[in-house]
Amino acid sequence: MAAAYSEAVRMRCRDPRRAGGWPDGADHVGTGAIGSLDAGVWTRLQVHGADGVIDDARFRVFGCSAAVASASFVADALVGATPAAARALDACAVAEALALPAEKQAMAAMAIDAARAAVDDWQTRAGARGPGLGTEHTDAGTGARGWR
């Protein structure tokens, strides 16, 4: 028997917020993808930001309604988040907010994993580029300069 989805899932499938993406290699964008088309579920999340804050997020999904709703929910939650706050997002909280059936809660975990990979990619790419992810600071004790 098919899982009965909550109104929150149905709403996000009818009108998915933040669907889409940016081209590979776009400035200030990090990308994370989890799953595979062969496995039947693939989730890609992208984050865009500068100065240490995610100012936009986008997703693409191949999979069930729970996968679409989870990625949409997580993309919304990423906007305005710092990298630390983005990494603190919890799959159980996403599954609870969407009232996902037990057999579909792995979709929330996939969205979270893709989000964390996107944030890691964003920070790695920003570090390779130099300034742009954070703000420059000087350590008062050592005088060392760096980026936050």
pLDDT attached to residue 128: 59
- In CATH, the architecture of 7-124 is Alpha-Beta Complex (3.90)
Q: What was the pLDDT predicted at 43?
A: 97
pLDDT at 50: 87
pLDDT at 4: 85
For residue 124, the model assigns a pLDDT of 93
- Rg (alpha carbons) of the chain, rounded to whole number: 17
Mean pLDDT (10-residue bins), the chain, 148 residues: 81 94 93 94 96 96 97 98 96 97 96 97 79 43 42
Closest CA to 131 of 140, 123, 143: 123
- On the 0-12 / 13-18 / 19+ scale of CB atoms within 10 A, 4 is exposed
C-beta atoms surrounding 24 within 10 Å? 8
Exposure string of 132-143, with b = 16+ CB inside 10 Å and e = fewer, is ebbeeeeeeeee
pTM equals 0.83
